[in-house]
Structure 1
Amino acid sequence: MANSGTIARVVVTGASGFLGRHVAQQCVDRGIAVLAPLRRSVDIPAGVEPLSLDDAGWHTGIADFAPDAILHVAAWSSLSHRRADIDPIIDANIRFGAHLIEAAAECENPPALVWAGSFAQYADGGDAYAPNSFYAASKEAFRAIADYYDRMRGVRCLGLILHDIYGARDERGRLLSLIAATLAREPGGLDLTDGSQHIAFVHVEDAARAFLVAADHLCRGTQSGNPVYSVAGDDRRPLREQIGDLLRAEDDPARLRWGARPQPPSFTPDLPELPRLPGWQPTIMLKEGFEEVRAHV
């Protein structure tokens, strides 16, 4: 998507992370100025301006930047937690987001805000809220906060419900990266569940592009009321079927030990039935994307 002219300046949170880095880079590639709030000095894409969250005046820094949109990608993500994780999850997914959206509301011209949600908020399938984790509950709490700011404070909001994001050079230790490494060289194989869960993979480049599409909708005034949309690939079959289609003739399928692990308590057998983000379609099919992952193992 070329820069349409509706968006010239954006704030991107999580710009040092896997998805956030791609969001920030796509903005830079389109000639959009990017400000990245950061908690520490970390590597971010060239051309992105950092904003230290250790500075008590970071809210003013956002107002001075005068963004057209805030792309809120940062999150503390896990489908399980311990007692010690509660405060970090609340800090990352609720407290920081609340301060961020308050900073947006205090701008002379409040920017639009695109926030990242998760399919884990809809663990029973369908479109009804059904969290499978404390993480999912924290994302829904932010959705409620965004509802208020959209309704009462003039911040146009839109949520993107993300699914399983993958891509090359992903250091998060996610499933497709682990499978690619196992097929390539890892001895002993990889213990997996029975693979019965339905899953919708989406390449990181496609997921990143969705944030720009959503921001464009908000800045053009074509969306209102803090709607939520799905960002997922087209293939929603059970995991084991999808992985089977990705194997090469020379691969040893016995390295993937299906059924060696039980399904976790956060097991989500079906995917949510949510409308897809208007104007967005995945362009990188799973087979192509997985070969890219394998090439960088």
Structure 2
Amino acid sequence: MNKKRVLITGAAGFLGSHLCDKFIDEGFSVLAMDNLITGDLKNIEHLFKREDFEFYHHDVSKFVHVAGKLDYILHFASPASPIDYLKIPIQTLKVGSLGTHNLLGLAKEKNARILIASTSEVYGDPLEHPQNEDYYGNVNTIGPRGVYDEAKRFQESITMAYHRFHGIETRIVRIFNTYGPRMRLNDGRVIPAFIGQALRGEDLTVFGNGLQTRSFCFVDDQVEGIYKLLFSDYSNPVNIGNPHEITIKDFAEEIIKLTQTNQKVVYRPLPKDDPMQRQPDITRAKEILNWEPKVKRSEGMKITYEYFKGLSKEELQKKEHKDFSSHIRK
């Protein structure tokens, strides 16, 4: 029996690599694609020897060609941390616009179902709390974060246009803060930043007064929600995240307790347009997908901390790409 074939873009990234594992485990043939601008081949090297796994080094902002049949596409190619998308703003806008356009065209050509990775950032600095899918958001289109926020908002718009005009089977997941093994310590997001600082013996940096909130979802729960959404019959956006909200200040204290370090918390000015509240309303996911997160933050953080503790001293400073050029198809 021929296996179903899935293309996963951003496959060498944090979420993309876990999705590769999920689809391999579920019996799919996986075609992974990444330009490695923020991804790391180390995240998927364990899959290179498998016959049902292929890797292509390619930027989806350029024309995407895939030979043979293709049943599903998951578009996860995009910088996702402020450090990345503020450093490469044009590439961030391109992958959300040109990249999404290219992949929607590929889905049309192959008659494949496509799932687009959107984000809670489409809500901006929200004026409604918690955020449900019917809220249109509060986004500064010309602010520094606009390159990411608007790339994702356009991504949703063009996806729905292809769905309505061309009849393409599309799915849109709005991802809230997710964490777990394979996150990059130096990517600027809260959890790897705090753990990295603790492991290096540095004080934990909190921006603003620390009263802003986030809701953290363990990667296994996130991947399961995405998987269920792909195989659902629902085409409108769905929030996938953990609704258990915590202030950044309290979370910093949790990290200090978890790592058993004696660092103190230091405060720095809040970046422009940094959202003050993040909490998903997952009513739609519960009703349509029969999904809700199962992993408690205390459990997920222990797993994540053990992963980071296993990194070398060099990796704690900066994770470098290994040379896996012999495995790459360009």
TM category (shorter chain) comes to: 0.7 to 0.9
Residue 35 of structure 1 aligns to a residue whose secondary structure is strand
- What is the one-letter code of the residue matched to 2:120? F
Structure 2 residue aligned with 1:26, among 22, 31, 45? Answer: 22
Deviation readout 1:53-109 (Å, 9 max, x if unpaired): 379884342xx2321x211111123447899734212222211111011111112xx
1:204 lines up with 2:212 in the alignment: no
- Change in Cα spacing, 1:78 to 1:97, as seen in structure 2 (3 Å) is same
The CA distance in 2 between the partners of 1:181 and 1:87, in whole Å, is: 28
- What is the one-letter code of the residue matched to 1:154? G
- Change in Cα spacing, 1:272 to 1:241, as seen in structure 2 (3 Å) is closer
- Change in Cα spacing, 1:253 to 1:279, as seen in structure 2 (3 Å) is farther
Check the 8 A contact 1:79/1:266 in 2, yes or no: no
Q: For structure 2, list consecutive stretches of 5 or more residues without a partner in the other structure.
A: 129-134, 310-330
The CA distance in 2 between the partners of 1:252 and 1:38, in whole Å, is: 37
Counterpart of 2:275?
268
Check the 8 A contact 1:20/1:208 in 2, yes or no: no
Structure 1 residue aligned with 2:65, among 52, 59, 73? Answer: 59
Deviation readout 1:198-239 (Å, 9 max, x if unpaired): 11111122222222111110xxxx213xx1111111312322
Shift of 1:188: 3.7
Structure 2 residue aligned with 1:105, among 95, 108, 128? Answer: 108
Check the 8 A contact 1:168/1:292 in 2, yes or no: yes
Check the 8 A contact 2:226/2:240 in 1, yes or no: no
Shift of 1:168: 2.3
Check the 8 A contact 2:6/2:31 in 1, yes or no: yes
Check the 8 A contact 2:214/2:279 in 1, yes or no: no
Q: State TM-score, norm by structure 1.
A: 0.82
The CA distance in 2 between the partners of 1:83 and 1:291, in whole Å, is: 30
Check the 8 A contact 1:206/1:283 in 2, yes or no: yes
Deviation readout 1:111-159 (Å, 9 max, x if unpaired): 2211111111102243123225221111101111101110011212121
Counterpart of 1:49?
54
The CA distance in 1 between the partners of 2:253 and 2:75, in whole Å, is: 35
Q: For structure 1, list consecutive stretches of 5 or more residues without a partner in the other structure.
A: none
Counterpart of 2:302?
291
The CA distance in 2 between the partners of 1:293 and 1:137, in whole Å, is: 30
Structure 2 residue aligned with 1:151, among 156, 164, 173? Answer: 164
- Change in Cα spacing, 1:125 to 1:11, as seen in structure 2 (3 Å) is farther
Shift of 1:37: 2.5
- Change in Cα spacing, 1:79 to 1:178, as seen in structure 2 (3 Å) is closer
Counterpart of 2:318?
none
The CA distance in 2 between the partners of 1:208 and 1:285, in whole Å, is: 15
- What is the one-letter code of the residue matched to 2:30? V
Count of residues in correspondence between the two structures = 278
Residue 237 of structure 1 aligns to a residue whose secondary structure is strand
1:282 lines up with 2:297 in the alignment: no
- What is the one-letter code of the residue matched to 1:37? M
The CA distance in 1 between the partners of 2:41 and 2:86, in whole Å, is: 28
The CA distance in 1 between the partners of 2:226 and 2:191, in whole Å, is: 23
CA RMSD in angstroms, aligned pairs only: 2.9
- Change in Cα spacing, 1:58 to 1:81, as seen in structure 2 (3 Å) is closer
Check the 8 A contact 1:18/1:170 in 2, yes or no: yes
